[in-house]
Amino acid sequence: MVGFGILMAALASVSAAPSPRVCPPLRVMTYNIRLDLESDGPNRWSARRSEFIGQVQLMHPEILGLQEVVAGQKADLEKALPGYDFLGAARDDGRSAGEFSNLAIDRSTFRVESSGTFWLSPTPNVPSKGWDAAYRRIATWAHLVRRGDGHRILALNTHLDNEGETARLEGAREILRFLSTHRRPGESILVTGDLNSEPGSPAYQVLTSSALGLRDSRGASTSPPLGPTGTFNNFDALPVKSPRIDYVLVGPGIIVDRYAVLAWHGDSGRVASDHFPVVADLAACGAKR
C-alpha cells in the first residue's frame, strides 16, 4: 500500500505540472515591391500589380515588410488588403513624398501599440541622408501585441543604401542602437528588409553578431530552406546570378520552422517584382514545443 501511495502521488504531481506552452504560428514576409516607374516598360507596376497582390493574398503573412513603395502603390495595396494596417512615413518628407518602407500588420492578429519611422543618418529624427548614401534611407518600426496571447514583438523594416558601403554599415549600427534602446521587457525582435548586403558583408555581420542575438532565418530554419538562394532577380524569372540581399532576421526566443524564397512567375514569364519575396514561418513565444 505504501508503494501504491507513492505511485499515486507521483502521478498527481505529473498531472498537476503545467503543460508546455505551444507557440502560435507566425508568418513573416519581406518583399521589395520595385517602385512604380513608367520607364520599366513591360515591367511597370500596372502590368504586374495583380500578380504582386495575389502573392501577398495567397501567403497572407501576419507581418509584411515592404520596400520601395510609393504613394500610388501604397493606395493600391491598402485597397486590396483591407485587413492590414500600413505603417510608416515616406523618406523624402516624413509624410508621403518618396519611397515608404512600410510594415503591413494583419490587424486580426496584432494590435499596434505604437509605431514610427526614423532616418538612417546622424540626424535620425528628421528627413536626411547619411554618410555616403545615394538616397535618404529609413526604418519603420512598431511595438506589436498579439491578440491571442498578449505576446509582444518589436518589428522593424528597412532598406539599406544600394551604393554607400559606409551608409549600409552605419545604418545597420543605427538600427541596432534603436532596437537596443526601444526594446521593452518581454518583447521578441524581428527585422525585415532589403539590406543590399550579401551574407558576410560588414552590414550583415554587424546585424547578426550583436548582443541582441539576431539570426538569419535561412540558417536558423529547422526545415531545409526552399527556393533559390538569391533574392534579387532584376526582372528575370530564372536569373543566372542572383545575390541574396533580402532578409528576415529573428531574435532569441523565436523558432524558425520554415524559410522560403518564392521564385514565382506568371504564364508570360513576368515576375511580380525585381526581387523575390522571402517568407519565414515562425513560432514566437520563447517556449519549448
Q: Which residue has the cell 543590399?
A: 196
The pLDDT of 7-24, averaged and rounded, is 51
Are 64 and 103 spatial neighbours (Cβ–Cβ below 8 Å)?
Answer: yes
Assign 3-state DSSP to the chain and report helix, strand, coil percentages, each to 5: 25, 30, 45
Task: Determine the angle formed by the axes of helices 71-80 and 45-59, rounding to 10 degrees.
Answer: 40
Q: How confident is the model at residue 21 (pLDDT cuts 50, 70, 90)?
A: low
Using the predicted structure, report yes or no on whether residue 7 has a pLDDT greater than 80: no
The pLDDT of 111-116, averaged and rounded, is 98
Using the predicted structure, report yes or no on whether residue 104 has a pLDDT greater than 90: yes
Buried b (16+ CB within 10 A) or exposed e, 214-252: bbbbbebbeeebebbebbbbebeeebeebbbbbbbbbbe
Pairing of β 63-67 and β 246-250: unpaired
CA distance linking residue 72 with residue 114, whole number of Å: 25
Domain 23-284 CATH (choose: 3.60.10.10, 3.30.70.250, 3.30.830.10, 3.30.70.1400): 3.60.10.10
**What's the confidence (pLDDT) of residue 284?**
85
The model's pTM: 0.91
Using the predicted structure, report yes or no on whether residue 50 has a pLDDT greater than 80: yes
**pLDDT tens-digit series, residues 118-163:** 999 999 999 999 999 999 999 999 999 999 999 999 999 999 999 9
Question: Domain-by-domain residue ranges, the chain?
Answer: 23-284
**What's the confidence (pLDDT) of residue 12?**
44
